[in-house]
A = this chain, B = another copy of it.
Amino acid sequence: MTITPPALSVFETLESEVRSYCRGWPAVFDRAQGSHLHDEDGHTYLDFFAGAGSLNYGHNNPVLKRALIDYIERDGITHGLDMATTAKRAFLETFENVILRPRDLPYKVMFPGPTGTNAVEAALKLARKVKGRESVVSFTNAFHGMSLGSLAVTGNAFKRAGAGIPLVHGTPMPFDNYFDGTVEDFLWFERLLEDQGSGLNKPAAVIVETVQGEGGINVARAEWLRALQDLCHRQDMLLIVDDIQMGCGRTGGFFSFEEAGITPDIVTLSKSISGYGMPMSLCLFKPELDVWEPGEHNGTFRGNNPAFVTATASLNTYWADGQMEKQTLARGEQVERALLAIADENAGAGVSFRGRGLVWGLEFADKDRATAVCRRAFELGMLLETSGPQSEVVKLLPALTISPDELDQGLRILARSVRETA
């Protein structure tokens, strides 16, 4: 496939220099369906990126699309703040029946605003309010968002520098396997908490991703997550799982923490919760933490009702039984086999991989290789992104609804891209 660089004029002249994805993927996209995007020049791209995890059910999923159009056609409420609406009620009832009750999760549901960072901000506020302490512990290579509260618990130095103020009240601790297993889990963290002379400001909460997506597909072991929950209980800290990228089935179960058998005090969801790529986020918490005053946190777009409609449809379609989880795990095994083959083929080049469900990372000893692989994959018609602090990891994030054939096709493009960038 030969791609003619499109005329990006208005993007270059009018849009801010802050734009980024459009630089790595120089095409003007027009339509999309399932696991494929189409640009205005007629090229088709296989999507192994899925809107950074916002399109778990594929682009413009037909079932959700039908529900969405019906809702719009019949003039359903579009913008609802936190007024009660029929669409919101349907979502809440479905979320309770399909997601919370079967998992025995006792959460209250808060609509904190339309995007992930709103949910993280709400979670941090609530934890601080409940515990009466300012400090929050996050982990190395964490990513929680760009507004100041979330950014203070995000690891990336480049993003942090954008704050323009010193980011305080957050302390990083080593994520699982940060020292390749040579140091006992939580050795440093627990010792600081127990030592009255350590200088650590006692945290209100710990915020963690079970799999760090932006941080380089770092997968926390189930026993590490359980030990973290234990530590939080022993030390009177709230456990916040940021499931914005890894929730909604990405790792298999609806919540990524189900596998570990833990029950976080607070959970944030966004990205794929609406199912259709529309802005929506949730903050879930144990009922005893629901100490909010009415309106203490608010936001204009916290009642994005069309998103509630597609969210409801996605839950009913994909989560009423255990099929989606099984399928994701099966697809994950397909990915794993392919990555193993790539690693074998490139033995000696320092290639390693890791993942869970349908999120996988392929890391190269040569830090620049991952970018080259993604560039080559784009030339070959596939969207693939890097992650990690030095963009050293190829991140595989296909839609959960991808077919085995599409998945196979993409994995072959990946293998070829690796080969051709050796």
> CB-CB < 8 A to A23: which residues of B?
294
Given A117-B118, A169-B168, A199-B160, does the pair A78, B276 have CB atoms closer than 8 Å? yes
Bitwise interface map of A from 369 to 395 toward B, beta carbon under 8 Å scored 1, else 0: 000000000000000000011100000
Q: Are B197 and A141 in contact (CB under 8 A)?
A: yes
Chain B min CB distance to A154 (Å): 7
Q: Which residues of B lie under 8 Å from residue A55 when comparing CB positions?
A: 78-79
Chain B proximity mask over A203-239: 1 for CB below 8 Å, otherwise 0: 0100000000001100000000000000000000000
> How far, in whole Å, are A272 and B67 apart by their CA atoms in the complex?
24
- Stretch from A125-133, A344-352, A356-364, A401-409 that touches the partner: A125-133
Instruction: Label chain A's interface by main secondary structure.
Output: loop
Residues of chain B within 8 A (CB-CB) of A134 are 164-166
Would A118 and B140 count as touching, CB distance under 8 A?
no
Q: A271 to B293: give the CA distance in the assembly, Å.
A: 24
Q: Which residue of B lies closest to A20 (CB)?
A: B295
Give the complex CA separation of A101 and B201 in angstroms.
Answer: 42
Residues in A278-310 with C-beta less than 8 Å from chain B: 278-279, 283, 285, 290-301, 304, 306
Task: Contact check, A15 vs B129: say whether CB atoms are below 8 A apart.
Answer: no
Are B154's CB and A29's CB within 8 A? no
A416 adjacent to chain B (CB < 8 Å)? no
Please, which residues of chain B bring their CB within 8 A of the CB of A29?
Answer: 77, 80, 83-86
Report if A202 contacts B (CB, 8 A).
yes
Q: Tell me if A22 and B199 are in contact (CB < 8 A).
A: no
Let me know if A14 is at the binding interface, CB within 8 A: yes
Q: How far is the CB of A175 from chain B (nearest CB, A)?
A: 10
Q: Which residue of B lies closest to A94 (CB)?
A: B10
- For window 65-105 of A, CB contacts with B under 8 Å fall at 65, 68-69, 72-86, 88-89, 92-93, 95-96
A2 CB–B CB distance under 8 Å:
no
Q: Which are the 6 A-B pairs with shortest beta-carbon distances? A: A128-B164, A79-B277, A197-B389, A147-B147, A172-B199, A18-B292
Provide 24 A-B residue pairs closer than 8 Å at the C-beta atoms, listed in order of the A residue.
A11-B92, A14-B109, A16-B108, A18-B292, A22-B83, A29-B86, A32-B76, A37-B77, A60-B78, A79-B276, A115-B118, A116-B300, A141-B199, A156-B197, A159-B298, A160-B199, A170-B199, A171-B171, A172-B198, A172-B199, A174-B191, A183-B183, A197-B215, A279-B301
